Amino acid sequence: MNSTELNMHTALETLPKSELHLHIEGSLEPELALELADRNGVSLPYDSLADLREQYQFTNLQSFLDLYYELMGTLKTADDFRDLALAYFKKVSAQGVKHAEIFFDPQVHVSNGLDVNMVMDGLLEGMHEAKARYGITSGLILSIVRDMPVDTAQSVLDSVKNRADDILGIGLDSAEVGYPPHLFTKQFEEATALGWHRVAHAGEEGPASYVIDALDNLHAERIDHGIHSVTDATLLERLASERIPLTTCPLSNRRLQVVGSLENLPLHNMMEQGVLINVNSDDPAYFGGYIADNYQALEGVGFTLSELSNMAENSITASFISDVERDALLQQLVSWKSRFASLLTA
């Protein structure tokens, strides 16, 4: 690695950023999954770490979800969820993350026989410890698993209303096609009444119409993925004019065959239309990289450091944080730009 490459690597790893599209269960590395399986007496059909790693070749979203949900079954105790969160925050503390808004999938954990309050307690403990250790602030987004029965989403929502202040927002994830956003209008309305923010996966494997559905019926403040918005010029104009951020995930899109190559991602196109793009890792243990790896992957296909720093700025401005916190993070970005001014103008 020459000096310029080293400087670029350092620049992207130290670039102050928020992570807004991270499934905490998707940060479960195979080593930790095997450790938890042993700890909790869970039998997995893999003979070794190498055998498990061989399963990480996906042909589509569903092939990933099958493994994702299987390994989630190794999470059994509050300590497991705390350890999961801390492992993620330790990793991204060296990748410039200053704030993270993380998804969790309570319906799956409840279906595995767990108490949603125990799950939340473990995650919140890990988030609290991460702030003390690494200075990273964070919030918890309850994600509805759209391909599970709607009544299970309602049940989970009802069960956590008494601790609404522990949750930052509501989200919508999992297998998209056949499960349009409007199916969950009631749950999003109730979450809004609780004071939660609203985000939704749309336009990843589903069409641009799902993004419109999420905006019109769920009143989503951010769209997770959203890359198929590029097929609808009117929608792109709306996203830009209403300043609706897209939390894109390059390595995820490539690994799940949403695009054939990173060069085919329509991010430049959407940015030219004024859409607010930011970069995230989605399920980093499964998709080959954490957040800085996603930034570096984009740099490798021609995105400039100036463009990438604009995406980081978008991640800060799109965060559900106070104005004081936002201003402090933006000031850190100003200092970073001063440090790497020569690379920004190269």
Section 316-322 average pLDDT = 98
Span 310-327, average pLDDT? 98
Q: Are 218 and 181 in contact (CB under 8 A)?
A: yes
Residue 1 has pLDDT above 80, yes or no: no
Does residue 334 carry a pLDDT above 70?
yes
Residue 142 pLDDT exceeds 70: yes
- The Cα 146–Cα 43 span in angstroms is 27
Cα–Cα distance for residue pair 38/187, rounded to 1 Å: 37
In the chain, % of residues over pLDDT 70: 98
**Region 205-229 average pLDDT:** 98
Mean pLDDT of the chain: 96
Lowest mean pLDDT among 56-70, 80-94, 152-166: 56-70
Kindly state the average pLDDT of the residues 174-186: 97
Annotated binding-site residue? 327: no
Predicted local distance difference test score (pLDDT) of residue 60 = 87
201 annotated ligand-binding residue: yes
**Which ranges in 161-277 belong to alpha helices (H)?**
185-193, 208-217, 233-241, 250-255, 267-272
Q: Which residue has the higher pLDDT, 168 or 346?
A: 168
- Which are the catalytic amino acids? 204
pLDDT for 61 equals 86
Of 174, 176, 73, 160, the closest CA to residue 124 belongs to 160
Cβ atoms of 140 and 125 within 8 Å: the answer is: no
Q: Which residues pair with 200 in a beta bridge?
A: 223
The mean per-residue pLDDT over the stretch 308-319 comes to 98
Q: What does the domain layout of the chain look like in residue ranges? A: 3-344
Dihedral angle computed from the Cα positions of residues 233, 234, 239 and 242, in that order, rounded to the nearest 10 degrees: 150
Is 282 marked within a binding site?
yes
Within its chain, how far is the Cα of 208 from the centroid? Answer: 20
pLDDT band at 2 (very low <50, low <70, confident <90, very high): low
Statement: residue 6 has pLDDT above 70: no
Pick the CATH number of 3-344 from 3.90.550.10, 3.20.20.140, 3.40.1350.10, 3.40.50.2000: 3.20.20.140
Q: What pLDDT score does 48 carry?
A: 94
Placement of tokens 């402090």 in the chain: 328
Looking at the DSSP bridge assignments, the partners of residue 172 are 144
Contact indicator for 29, 87 with CB cutoff of 8 Å:
yes
Do 282 and 103 contact (CB within 8 A), yes or no?
Answer: no
Phi, psi at 169, each rounded to 5°: -165, 175
pLDDT recorded at residue 317: 98
23 annotated to bind ligand = yes
Q: What is the pLDDT of residue 5?
A: 64
Is 197 annotated among the ligand-binding residues? no
Judge whether residue 94 has pLDDT over 70. yes
Which residue bears the tokens 């400087």? 7
- Edge to edge, what strands does the sheet with 17-23 contain? 17-23, 97-104, 137-145, 169-173, 197-202, 222-225, 246-248, 277-279
